[in-house]
Structure 1
Amino acid sequence: MDSDTRRDISIVKYLTKQFLCCTAIVKMNFMLLDGNKDYPLDLDIQKQILDSTINSDLIKRYPIKTSYQKAFLKLFMAKIEESGNAIHDDLYTTYCRLISLQDEESVHYRHFLIENGTLNCITLKESTNLISKGTTGLCSWQGAAVLSDWCSENIRHFHGKNVFELGCGVGLTGMSVISVCSPNQYIFSDCHPTVLDMLCENVKLNFLLNKQHKLSNMCDTSLRLKLQLKYKQTDIQIIDLKWQDIDKYIMESSPQPDIIIAADILYESDSFDSLTLGLKHLLTSSNYAVFAATVRNENTISQFLEHLGNHNLAFEEYTSPKWTTSIQSINSPVRILKIFRKI
């Protein structure tokens, strides 16, 4: 394969990955294009990019929101014009089709390409709004993407282990861990009914290889099993669990988790008492937790760390992953915290 072909594949792959997960347009990285001012964005390359993004079979079956597709294509055509190239007719045709559509979707899909030797595509149904039905849990946030990449870089922490996730939302981190790390057991937990329903849809969409899944009717207990299935060697469970009920969960469950994870749950200080007490029940001398916390407010993070100390829990920081897909229009750092019992 010559250098021009490799460069063509790299540009198509780079833009496709950003498009599929709906990287914020203001953060859309065209560096590969901008860094090659003399590189001809010829008609063939334009068509390849269009066919791997907006016109792909994946997007036709599980579409991302129309407004995003319009904005991406508009920006792409502007970049082509800046490079002095003619725009492919199919780009104009596709743009005309998109602007004729109404932007009224309440839900859409996003697709996350996760590479670790092989390429895994995780498709998630999400709300088109950051806050919907009284919760922020119906869409994926920056911390979930960063934690997903950290887990992919640290497979040894998860392979063959029992993993428990707090406040899992629609499932990005968990599905990444299951796809890449092959844990023995993965338990998703959340307490918002709409979030749990959408999470069940996403787990079945990505992991249900046949229709022989098990749904529980444990409605007479406070800990409801929403979904249970097996994907390859991983036992997957979705449970309805409030943090203040974690002590009951520990009494009723087996085995104890080897590692507890969470992403972007440290935003409401009123919840820190129940969260920290719940962690204290989950943590033993032989396990630990890994939290990804987007630092929107330093004081909020400090309050949580203070709560840990008050409950005889300690923390240290892991190095953030080398690279992650930016999926939000924010520029805040993400801290990776290892939390454990003091010796």
Structure 2
Amino acid sequence: MDLSLLRRRFLSCSPVGEIWTKDIIKESTQQDILLSTVLCECLKGRPLSQSYTNNFMKTFMHKIEEFGGEIYDCTYEAYGDILSLSAPTVEHRHYDLSDTTICLQESGSLVAEGTTGLKTWQASQYLAEYLLANKSLVEGKKVLELGCGLGFLGLAICAACRCGSYILSDHHSSVLQKLHANIAINEEKLLCIPNVEEIDWNIASAAASSPSQLHGLDIILAADVVFDKELIPSLVKCIEKLVSSNSQCQVLIASTIRNPDTYASFSQAVGDTGFQRKQVVSNATKLFVYDESSEIVIDRVSKASFS
């Protein structure tokens, strides 16, 4: 049984799927599964959703019986301990990188507190995989992330890469509050401590100039920001303003194409602004567990011509 994959799926509160094999009837395997999931050290003080954990244990025990096995005391005891716990006031998700694990305070809801920014979306995980396989794009560079949400992409990069500087930006107050909390949770694991800026794309795009701390950017990142046609003009104008101090600045935008018309509007707006656009082919190793039912693409955008 692939315990590493099971751990990644469990810690990120992802559907476990048909990963179970008959060796779960062994007591030693049940112990290994518990240590990789519900008894994992990283969960101490940073618990997952109680409903997710309960459902996982029910499925685990059902599968043991389905394979004709015995549910050993270690499994019953772990389940009993879980049932005795009160629901956590703050829920977390944990994401394994190659050498460490990052933890986020995160909502499982698609929309919470009036924003979509309190959940990690699949394009940020896809872009993280690409950048972790191509670290030279960010190492030693001045990086800005737009619409960072809870900070998954930036924290994954800062945990694995020594950026010159990394600025996480968003606008919604609840998002910014959780973002600061997530930086604090992971601070000891980070090779580069990110700064946080509140950036409203409408205000930034209309301003006479960008703040000095946003001058001289080497690369701008964004993920799952192309989902609303009404936001696209201000997003593109904001990017145009930000790259004005460095024409060589690269922009990488990862998008989940849920609505082809919305993505077409983004492509049109980018072209109308005079940017060059080219899709990046990613052959990065899959590190994270996310929904791949919709196409995910990475667009490289630049004022300069591509070589």
Compute the TM-score of the two structures, normalised by the length of structure 2: 0.90
Query: 2:249 aligns to what?
Result: 287
1:106-152 superposed Cα distances (whole Å, 9 cap, x missing partner): 6301111001xxx1110111124221110011121111111111111
Q: Relative to 1, partners in 2 of residues 1:100 and 1:251: Cα closer, same or farther, differing over 3 Å?
A: closer
TM-aligned CA deviation for residue 235 of structure 1: 5.1
Gap runs ≥5 in structure 1: 1-7, 210-230
SS in 2 for 1:107: coil
Query: 1:109 aligns to what?
Result: 92
Query: 1:42 aligns to what?
Result: 26
Query: 1:185 aligns to what?
Result: 165
1:58-97 superposed Cα distances (whole Å, 9 cap, x missing partner): 2132000011101212222233233332222222233244
- Whether the aligned pair in 2 keeps the contact of 1:142 and 1:327 (CA below 8 Å) is yes
- Which of 334, 337, 340 aligns to 2:296? It is 334
- Which of 261, 267, 277 aligns to 1:299? It is 261
Name the CA distance, whole Å, in 1 between partners of 2:77 and 2:155: 36
- Whether the aligned pair in 2 keeps the contact of 1:170 and 1:195 (CA below 8 Å) is yes
Q: Relative to 1, partners in 2 of residues 1:342 and 1:286: Cα closer, same or farther, differing over 3 Å?
A: closer
TM-aligned CA deviation for residue 272 of structure 1: 0.7
TM-aligned CA deviation for residue 261 of structure 1: 0.4
1:287-322 superposed Cα distances (whole Å, 9 cap, x missing partner): 111111111111111111111111111211112334
Name the CA distance, whole Å, in 1 between partners of 2:257 and 2:89: 28
- Whether the aligned pair in 2 keeps the contact of 1:106 and 1:128 (CA below 8 Å) is no
Name the CA distance, whole Å, in 2 between partners of 1:153 and 1:200: 26
Alignment of 1:1-343 (within 5 A): 11-23=2-14, 25=15, 28-31=16-19, 33-34=20-21, 39=23, 41-99=25-83, 107-115=90-98, 119-207=99-187, 232=191, 234=192, 236-246=194-204, 248=207, 250-253=210-213, 255-283=215-243, 284-320=246-282, 321-328=284-291, 331-341=293-303, 343=305
SS in 1 for 2:298: strand
Amino acid at match of 1:206: N
Amino acid at match of 2:238: G
Name the CA distance, whole Å, in 2 between partners of 1:112 and 1:334: 20
Name the CA distance, whole Å, in 2 between partners of 1:96 and 1:165: 43
Amino acid at match of 1:300: T
Gap runs ≥5 in structure 2: none
1:244-293 superposed Cα distances (whole Å, 9 cap, x missing partner): 23354624335411110011111111011110101111234311111111
Query: 1:4 aligns to what?
Result: none
Name the CA distance, whole Å, in 2 between partners of 1:61 and 1:235: 22
SS in 2 for 1:46: helix
Name the CA distance, whole Å, in 1 between partners of 2:55 and 2:257: 28
Higher relative strand content: 1
Identity %: 29
- Following TM superposition, the consecutive aligned residue runs of length 4 or more in structure 1 with deviations greater than 3 angstroms are 96-103
* Total equivalences in the alignment: 300
SS in 1 for 2:78: helix
Amino acid at match of 1:92: Y
SS in 1 for 2:233: helix
SS in 2 for 1:325: coil
CA RMSD across the alignment:
2.2
- Whether the aligned pair in 2 keeps the contact of 1:22 and 1:327 (CA below 8 Å) is no
- Whether the aligned pair in 2 keeps the contact of 1:106 and 1:129 (CA below 8 Å) is no
- Whether the aligned pair in 2 keeps the contact of 1:169 and 1:199 (CA below 8 Å) is yes
Name the CA distance, whole Å, in 1 between partners of 2:251 and 2:181: 27
- Whether the aligned pair in 1 keeps the contact of 2:11 and 2:93 (CA below 8 Å) is yes
Name the CA distance, whole Å, in 1 between partners of 2:259 and 2:133: 27
Name the CA distance, whole Å, in 2 between partners of 1:76 and 1:235: 39
TM-aligned CA deviation for residue 100 of structure 1: 5.3
